[in-house]
Amino acid sequence: MKMRLYELVATAGAAVLLTAGWAQGPAASVPASSNVRGAEYPRVSPDGRVTFQLSAPTAQKVQVQPGDASGGNGLGTGPFDMVKDAKGVWSVTITPIMPGFHYYWFLVDGVMANDPSSETYFGYNRQTSGVEIPEAGVDYQLPKEVPHGEVRMHWYHSKVTGQWRRAQIYFPPGYDANPKARYPVLYLQHGGGEDETGWVKQGKMNFILDNLLAEKKAKPMIVVMDAGYAYNPNDAKRPGARPDLPAAAPNRFEEVVVNDLIPAIDATYRTIADRDHRAITGLSMGSGQALQIAFDHTELFSWVGAFSCGALENADPNTAYKGIWKDAAAFNKRFHLMFLSAGTVERHHGWIPQLHEKLTAMGVKNVYFESPGTAHEWLNWRCAFHDFAPRLFQ
């Protein structure tokens, strides 16, 4: 398997903190593609180092805080102290563990603050900053001169929650130009603390799929992305919770998908509305939801994937999901694909390949994809989606 150049650094688990310029000099760096229009910082150098900057003349201490302080999101183990110049501008240059998309924010005298120079992304249950660090020689997730699909918002009313919900939907190139064509559907879920915008803004799934379709490596499909949270007004309140936020029933989101979302999508768009043309997958929290929903509703899904699935920790393949894997022949007949993936430096890496080996020994057909040198972060899941999508509906 191909090893990325940064894999040895990633396994070391530490970022290098720099307080001065880098060998190539500031002129060699460029503004990150994740910056707001016209913002010069953060800046990314050709060797992957990133310089953050914030004007805060009256602050006593400013730090860059990675989304995961342990370094698990790929930016490194923080927080990183910034240095103040004579004009009150704070800056620091760091070497991240790996390229890709990484959440971060500033700590200004201990107070969390988004970077005004960064676009905002929904993660950690709030809008936060993010920085995109290119991976040298890799362009599968970038926009190219190929036909592009469209991502649209779909509002629908949920009978389960009694509320309006918003899904993001990707339509393949040519959807509007070919009114007689019908398409299979992938339901694609985000991770905990994120929302239905994540797979497009952070994951670049639309560009990944555009490029795969242009290369004729994937089948044209509709992709539906919904927020993986659902509450009913009659759900009991959690002790100490916000008064307007009830506890989520264990299967409330599953009820929304089955009773509200799928019927709404099939009634509104040109889908092929049967299980042989319906898939579901997700990352982290969303992967656990995908497995649960697919295995509870085998009448609806025959393609299922799980990227970085924490729900599989120490899973006993003989008893998990009501023993669905125990009868290998029946499972193999029922499902066209079961896909598992993990990054080599995330904590999920250990038990997912182990489950793959156990299932394979039982005769359960499944695919395991490993993303080398990636942690529990979006580079991992982009790689997984890039491998997963071409396997669908073939």
Please report, for residues 138, 205, 382, the alpha-carbon distance to residue 211 in angstroms, rounded to integers and kept in the order given.
12, 10, 13
Q: Give the domains, in start order, of the chain with CATH numbers.
A: 7-133 (2.60.40.10), 150-391 (3.40.50.1820)
Q: What number of other Cβ atoms are within 10 A of residue 74's Cβ?
A: 31
Give me the pLDDT at residue 315, please. 87
Q: Residue 161: which pLDDT band, with cuts at 50, 70 and 90?
A: very high
Residues 6+ apart with CB under 8 A from 96: 15, 48, 49, 50, 74, 75, 76, 102, 133
Long-range contacts of 18-24 (CB under 8 A, 24+ apart): 18/49, 18/92, 18/93, 18/94, 18/95, 19/83, 19/92, 19/93, 20/93, 21/93, 22/47, 22/49, 22/93, 23/47
* pTM for the predicted model, two decimal places: 0.91
Q: Is the pLDDT of residue 356 over 60?
A: yes
Alpha-carbon span 381 to 62, nearest angstrom? 31
Per-residue pLDDT reduced to its tens digit, 300-313:
999 999 999 988 88
SS3 221: coil
CA torsion sign for 117, 188, 260, 267 is positive
From 4-8, 119-123, 348-352, the region with the lowest mean pLDDT? 4-8
Per-residue tokens: 336: 């066209």
For the segment 344-358, the average pLDDT, to the nearest whole number, is 87
Structural contact between residues 36 and 119, judged by C-beta atoms closer than 8 angstroms: yes
Per-residue pLDDT reduced to its tens digit, 24-57:
445 589 999 999 999 999 999 998 899 999 999 9
Q: Which has more confidence, 12 or 137? A: 137
Q: With DSSP H G I counted as helix, E B as strand and the rest as coil, what are the percentages for the chain, rounded to 5? A: 25, 25, 50
Per-residue pLDDT reduced to its tens digit, 168-214:
999 999 999 999 999 999 999 999 999 999 999 999 999 999 999 99
Q: Residue 69: which pLDDT band, with cuts at 50, 70 and 90?
A: low
Q: Residue 23: which pLDDT band, with cuts at 50, 70 and 90?
A: very low
Give me the pLDDT at residue 349, please. 76
Q: Is the pLDDT of residue 21 over 70?
A: no
Give me the pLDDT at residue 12, please. 34
**Phi and psi of 112, rounded to 5°?**
-65, 135
Residues 6+ apart with CB under 8 A from 102: 66, 67, 73, 74, 75, 96, 130, 131, 133, 377, 378
Alpha-carbon span 302 to 253, nearest angstrom? 19
**DSSP summary character for residue 9:** H
